A and B are shown apart, each in its own frame.
Chain A
């Protein structure tokens, strides 16, 4: 099933851009970096994974802690339906196989932010496995071409988050907040099929677009809703994979890229100095831009995995299969029917429906509100997509970005923006005037419609007859210069053109002014 699906996917995309695998560049001509990612995504839910305690972000310390997260004896886990649905939904979006039976395990740690002394997770029988994420890598620095890459999703598992520890070095103590303890996480384990920081960033960006679209994760990295661990190694092309290191808890795209690139360089330096890379856990220091060995992981952990005795297995069924037996906790097909349009599908649709470029489709799809804005503008009056893209992406976005406003709260409504496009498209105003209108609405807060603004300011484009008259006047007023031109001094054309432009108050099409002036001068 899965392979068939993938084939369909490539056929669909190949129409628009190449799916040819681009060979990743070797590092210092010899070394091939190999990177695998593990992503922890917090599931967007009202309550925690195993208890009905509020899961909102940013509550005062220890106000969202129940007796279960505090590990009081006798408390039992009760699995959250929404979290199972979210995991299935995500798995389906990543073309993964949703397992009909999955189980929970205990992974033991002894940390104060994990009061039970173990985390409930899924190790051997996760809820989903064998998926794939397709994404577009655009990294002008190392590769001028935009290319398509695809990485296997090894497994997707449900697990609970731990609490937060604040280290108080001054008083040699640790402060613990258990609000985060027990929050639902999806751990997504990807195969080591990436080759540099940019590819890793592209994967995480696409993943967060998908999860945001599905609504299964807020993907706010600054709130820790999406955390990335990167496994990095380098090897020579003909040799087996090198020893890897793991950089934990990367909480922004930028630090992900920097950490990976730093770690590749560090490992290559070690190997070229005939040293050995040690398998260890490291963390990334934002200030120095370096990865640092983590202190507490130097002893090998004994996680003592064991089946979670308090949770029976999770059985699922799929009513789309022939001869299915409706026994289990959930019907996979109900979740499947609810599937949303995925970012890649939106890109393909925009490109097909409106004939816009992949680059523009990528920018539009990167922000859900922007996609909506664009489609709202395009819905009426047969507007030209290229014109809309240009005015929207280069001009409107530029202005509201400089004002630090998101497209969601854009002062210029899509209908009003569409009116500007119509004026421009019908040749009633010039591009420079369109910018002035956008500026008036967004910056000066002008509440009139674009047409009203144009009329009030006398901004409408000069008609050909009007331009004709003005140039006639310019020729009359500068007769001496015109004579010079006619005697063969073609250089003075620029002077005359300048006069004509000044006379049209920048409200005429420059090319037209140029043509008419030339005609008139050469006429006689």
Chain B
């Protein structure tokens, strides 16, 4: 379990995050929503150990994040940044194979995992294609396959964590659905999934727990039903909406 307590973060006197408490539970999908500039990506940077909080502490499986060896941490925590630039003509397979760099599982096992990860994002046909020749959505799928391959199987009973920053921003409808399926199936294996997402209805459908960030603070936290109310959305996004129920999934449906 990834747990953060009392996180505050400021850069050059600017306070970006204040008093954040957060638990990414194994087997659950936690989604962070909030307006632009609310501090979502900053929060992910702290949680992945890329930056240190000004105040507060973060622990993975009870051990402070800073106490993990980089390789061991990479074996159990995979992070998909918002956008990745790669200007070199690697094939999709080579990019996904990079997800196996922290592991020492051998080429045969790694190849099987890469095949499975590519298939999971509907990217098997991209296998030998060059990354530099792909469309935006295809690139994003290959990167997603790379982070899935990184934590494809458990390592010595350590809890695994999958962190995705807007994974569906350039996906079509089918691949958005597929990404939800992937997040749910990783969660079903006991992986703690944390995702930043802009589409409130997608967040409602994929998440067990929603965290609303506004101006660097937690504005609301709880199940989608608890959080996605007209009042909260008015308060945070300053938009009038009405809330219905998604007839297919039974989750809240935000109608703007």
Q: Is chain B found bound to chain A in the same assembly?
A: no
**Chain A residues packing against B (C-beta within 8 Å):** none
